[in-house]
Amino acid sequence: MKKQFAKKIALLMAITLCLGTASCGKKEEPKTENPEKNVQNVESTDQAATPETPALQTAFLQANNAPTITAGTAILVEQSTGTILFDKNAKDKMYPASMTKMVTALVVMDYFKAEELITVGTEINEVSLDSSKAGHVNGETLTVKNLIRGLIIPSGNDSANVLATAVAKKVKNNQSLSFAECQDIFAGLMNDKAKALGAVNTHFTNAHGYHDENHYSCAYDMALFGRAYLANSTLAEIANEKSFSGNGADNMFAQNKEKKTQDYSWKSHNLLITSNEYNYSYASGIKTGFTNEAGDCVSAAAMKDGVTLIAIIFNSPDPARWLDAKSLFEYGFNGYEKVELGKAAAVVEAVPLVKHKRLEGDTLDVVFHQDVVAYLPTGEASKVTKTMEYEQEYLAESKDNVVKLKAPIKKDAKVGTASFQIGGKTVLTEPVFAGREVSKGTIWSSIHYFFKNFTSVVFSVKGLIGLGVIVAVGALIFLGARFIGGRRRRSARGYSFRQPISRRGNRRGKRRF
């Protein structure tokens, strides 16, 4: 009998515990801050190829009063985000002339450090007589940085040949290569670089940009190259130099008469940064260009209030190229504003969770992995609204129209997309990621949670109600068990064939008279 009673008590405790972990004190699921957000399901396709983000993206809203320019093709781009603020036939095939040298410098910096030394060879004789030159002589030694200065400031085609030859021989580990071989190798490296940067209509045949029918590019691609160029601090410094005067080897061989060096005095051809009537006070580079076939060109940069703009101008006869660049810069700086829509690692919103370990928290903070910045027409920032869309694989079924995500979720997993709109038109989208790992819940994690939070859970309103229900159910089960057990004992006594035992004395079946 004692064993039966113990079994009933154990059964009662197990039932009570299970009911308690399942329902007792279950907290009300938190709701999202803005329940009227237009949340949609996004199919997750692990097998589908995700298209790469374009290297440059057109501004989702265009500012009014775009300038009229002389250039045959042109583009205006914000440097940090690659936002296109103005576009005039930007992907049309054009001849880049000496603007080519931006890519030459980029390739050189992939293989040499600025302070390394290069000795000039006969490659300086492989330039046309009408080419612009820096004035190098055979056998002299210069630093890479000063050779790039000769490439950019006076636009030296001889500097381009020296750099191209040095890179090609280093890449092939062959000092016996002819100049023709070096030029082909270096042009291949330039084309590879252009492709890696996202170019869509570019092909190079030489390092300096002297006219060749198969040497071409477009304003869109030149803007890509300008962005990459400015991202290198050494190159950005050189692009903004109005002039250079000094020794080609920085006087490191002043006491060594066996090393040939020479002094230079170069002045920039970029009238936007030099002192003249076309100077633009915010200008910071980059490279000019001219051939009869290309016309007057410029890859220009300007920085104001922390914003850098790049203007590419093709075939705009002087002085129009300077005026076109200034007009585009004024349009970009005054017609647009930089709007910060989100910060890297900042919480975008806290989303309720289901099927998770509750001790880890009942919501998941979703975050951006990078600062979210948009360039919008001035005055439009206050009109921006945001909606969230979550990946189907993480969405839980919901009957109350509250978006909930289900465990498990790995930290930094892409869980959805934030969309920013103005007047119903999407101006920017940005993926959001899990700010932490969300573990899948188990019966043991539920039991752990229940006992760890027993006091706060039980003495909540829902907890008291749930506890009352549990006690009532437990009592009913206990009474039911007692009732069934009693009936079984009575039934067993009713069908017994044993003789009754006398309660008086030890003798059986005798009566006293």
Structure tokens at 359: 């001790």
Active-site annotation holds for 101: yes
How many residues can be counted in the chain?
513
Please classify residue 216 by burial: count the beta carbons closer than 10 Å to its beta carbon, then call 0-12 exposed, 13-18 middle and 19+ buried: buried
Tokens in use for 495? 């069908």
**Which two structure tokens, joined as six digits, stand for 121?**
């060879």
In the numeric block, the tokens 């983000």 are attached to 53
Checking DSSP bridges between strand 40-42 and strand 384-391, what pairing results, if any? parallel
**Which backbone phi and psi does 390 adopt, to 5 degrees?**
-115, 150
| Active-site residue, from 88, 98, 316, 460 | 98
Q: What letter represents residue 343's amino acid? A: K
Residue 404 assigned ligand-binding role: no
Nearest Cα residue to 373 out of 411, 407, 340: 340
What's the Cα-to-Cα distance from 43 to each of 50, 369, 395, 417, rounded to whole Å? 13, 21, 10, 12
Nearest to 461 by CA among 20, 30, 28: 28
Known active-site residue 98: yes
What is the 3-state secondary structure of 335-374?
A: HEEEEEEECECCEEEEEEEECECHHHCCEEEEEECCCEEE
| Helices and strands in the chain: count of H runs, count of E runs | 11, 19
Q: How far is residue 495's CA from residue 91's CA, in Å, rounded to a whole number?
A: 103
Q: What is the DSSP letter of 441?
A: P
| Residue 237: CB atoms within 10 Å | 14
| C-alpha radius of gyration, the chain, whole number | 39
Pick the closest to residue 149 from 123, 114, 125 (CA basis): 114
Q: Show the tokens assigned to 243.
A: 């002039």
Catalytic (active site) residue 155? yes
Selected catalytic residue, list 131, 132, 155, 284 = 155
Within 10 angstroms of residue 249's Cβ, the number of other Cβ atoms is: 20
Q: How distant is the alpha carbon of residue 280 from its chain centre?
A: 33
Concatenate the DSSP letters of all residues of 232-271 into one string.
SHHHHHHHT-SEEEEETTTTTTTT-TTSB--EEEEE-S-T
By annotation, the residues acting in catalysis are 98, 101, 155
Residues marked as binding?
287
Residues marked as binding for substrate?
287
